Copies of this chain bind each other. A is one copy, B any other.
Amino acid sequence: MKSRRDRLREATVQEITGTARRILVAEGPEAVTLRAIAREMGMTAPALYRYFGSHGELLRHVVGAIFTELTAALHDALQAVPNGDMSGKFLAVSRRFRHWALAHPREYALLFGAPVRGRGHDEDWAEECAREFGWTFLSLFLELWRKKPFPVVPDERIDPVLLEQLRSYREDVLGVDLPLGVIQQFLKCWVRLQGSVSLEVFGHLEFALRDAGPMFELMMREISSELDITYRPPEP
């Protein structure tokens, strides 16, 4: 049972992360200071210490919130595709990820740039949100393979050093029963996907491309053929 106090507190926490994020979007990451947040809320900076142990802890909380929003966006894209259509779901989630990143570059930079080190007494709430985010893509990938298996390299043809890591990831983290080649393929795809999105968002393709969309679609075509997915161009 939540007391009135608890509800108020929770609301304040939400207001804090909300204003922090508004400042992030409007004025960039270096403008997200305790004083600025407090100012915008009609408070003073030390009051924020009633809610977060430090500036970094607050930031990590914001990171967590953004992660869950991103996850929600992916799920939204997922559900907009009819349930049998695995190819459609895969393409939709991938495109939604890129689209979200381009629409929220500063949030993306916060989530996927050089990480904010150190953790508070939340231990790892942000980490938990990040894991959940990763899981939405991974679970889709695994479902895709189960429903419509694509060819996968047998264990004997995987680099032994890599094999061992894949195995421990499967056992210790996933706890599912799958060929390790599937996990290898997942990582390959994920690296290409997030890699290309990161480069684009951070502006590292602008030296040649004003609009990297076609390059992204080209990659999606290649990935689709690797996964035995029927590629369809985006709608709009």
Contacts and interface: CB of A to CB of B under 8 A. Distances in A.
A215 B199 contact: no
Nearest to A194: B199
A173 B207 CA distance: 9
A18 interface: no
B215 A191 contact: yes
- Of the four ranges (under 10, 10 to 19, 20 to 34, 35 or more), the interface on chain A belongs to 35 or more
A122 B58 CA distance: 37
Which DSSP category, helix, strand, loop or mixed, fits chain A's interface? helix
A112 B199 CA distance: 9
A36 interface: no
Interface stretch (A6-14, A66-74, A158-166): A158-166
A114 B203 CA distance: 8
25 contacts: A109-B114, A113-B114, A113-B202, A115-B202, A130-B207, A131-B207, A134-B207, A161-B211, A162-B209, A162-B215, A165-B209, A165-B211, A165-B214, A173-B207, A173-B208, A183-B208, A184-B215, A184-B218, A187-B208, A188-B215, A188-B218, A188-B219, A191-B219, A192-B196, A194-B204
Interface of A: 29, 109, 112-115, 130-131, 134, 159, 161-162, 165-166, 169, 173, 183-184, 187-188, 191-192, 194-196, 198-199, 202-205, 207-211, 213-215, 217-219
